Amino acid sequence: MKTFEVYPRFAIEPVKAFGSSIWDKQGTRYLDLYGGHAVISIGHTHPHYVRRIEEQLHKIGFYSNSVEIPMQDQLSKKLGELSGYASYHLFLCNSGAEANENALKLASFRNKRKKIIAFLKSFHGRTSLAVATTDDPKIRAVINEGTEVLFLPLNDEVTLEQNLNEEICAVIVEGIQGVGGVHLPSHTFLRRIREGCNNTGAVMIVDEIQSGYGRSGKFFAHQHADVTPDLITVAKGMGNGFPIAGVLIAPEFEAKQGSLGTTFGGSHLACAAALAVLEVIEAEDLISRASYSGKYLMDALSAIQGVKEVRGLGLMIGIELDAPIAPIRNRLLYEDHIFTGSSSDPNTLRVLPALNLSMEEADHFIQCFKKQLQK
């Protein structure tokens, strides 16, 4: 049997990592400014994270949700405290797509509707409902086409108001569009979604899978706009590489046994990983660090000749050029040994480092990027 090859891969095999550094099997050191799609939030193999998981593994790694797992309650409490959503409930699952799938299902359970508003350039995952709300027909199979989704332009308040009515089940929007090229919903636009959902009985879902967990300089990117969604989905940085995801659920939603379910979600090991992440974020003040280092990076990158636009918040950054970024991304990787990311916009480079990126590492990237642009 062979691997079903659906991913383009660089000819690099990482064998060791620490902080924002990765070493390949030849011993070459790389600066990781992508974190495997924004997954690495507190740095690779953080000592507290490793210790937390190792200690838990020696006790019990997994049992299903048919028994008491107090660590789930500990995680819910800690996440509520740090995120500012202490009154919400937490449903634990395994991936961002699964989180969005369950959020959309919860919305429909609540208002018995099925039409969804999503936005152009959105990405919400690859499972049935999640991929139906993703603006990329290339990854939707015919079987995914049954869901009724309206794709509207981001930040177009007039079009939103024309389409948000009593037939809409949910509006799903990313805190910051990631795959689409790091595009921010305006504060006013997010507030219009909130008002429209209040007026029509639709459910406001904010997908914070990539933009959450401190990456934007606040715990969630939507908090910059001072809005409160009904449902918030999280994953990626939540486990620093260990698969875990969740849905933060407003208290108005009634929990009914059997309505949602998961085999692996909320396992002992997953909760240990997620608790370690929150503990490190709190102890090392990583949200403030992300805000400071992100602004430093964006200011410096914006001043480089040849850069068309720099978009983002905190350490979720998109660098747009007037030409495709693929050659520069490849040179950064193979000449300067720096990992960065692409997007669906061929002219936009994504930078998604760990929240504890050092200023020396930020300066090194700035110098290398500037050098590559001048070639």
pLDDT at position 375: 83
pLDDT beneath 70, residues of the chain: none
Number of structural domains found in the chain: 2
Type of residue found at 93: C
pLDDT at position 146: 87
pLDDT at position 150: 98
Same domain, residue pair 206 and 222: yes
Would 4 be classed as within a structural domain?
Answer: no
Are the C-beta atoms of residues 270 and 239 closer than 8 Å to each other?
Answer: yes
Residues 6+ apart with CB under 8 A from 148: 114, 115, 116
pLDDT at position 124: 98
- Could you identify the residue written with the tokens 């079987």? 143
Would 172 be classed as within a structural domain?
Answer: yes
pTM of the model: 0.97
Same domain, residue pair 248 and 306: no
Would 193 be classed as within a structural domain?
Answer: yes
pLDDT at position 16: 98
C-alpha span between 199 and 197 (Å, rounded): 5
Segments forming the whole domain that contains residue 272:
48-283
Would 279 be classed as within a structural domain?
Answer: yes
pLDDT digits (tens, 9 = 90+) for 12-67: 999 999 999 999 999 999 999 999 999 999 999 999 999 999 999 999 999 999 99
Structure tokens at 327: 């050659």
pLDDT at position 145: 87
Q: Of 250, 283, 316, which residue sits at a domain end?
A: 283
User: What's the CATH code of the domain at 167?
Assistant: 3.40.640.10
Same domain, residue pair 266 and 255: yes
N residues, the chain = 375
Same domain, residue pair 177 and 74: yes
pLDDT digits (tens, 9 = 90+) for 212-222: 999 999 999 99
Are the C-beta atoms of residues 294 and 313 closer than 8 Å to each other?
Answer: yes
C-alpha span between 290 and 316 (Å, rounded): 9
Give helix 268-283 / helix 47-57 axis angle, nearest 10°.
Answer: 160
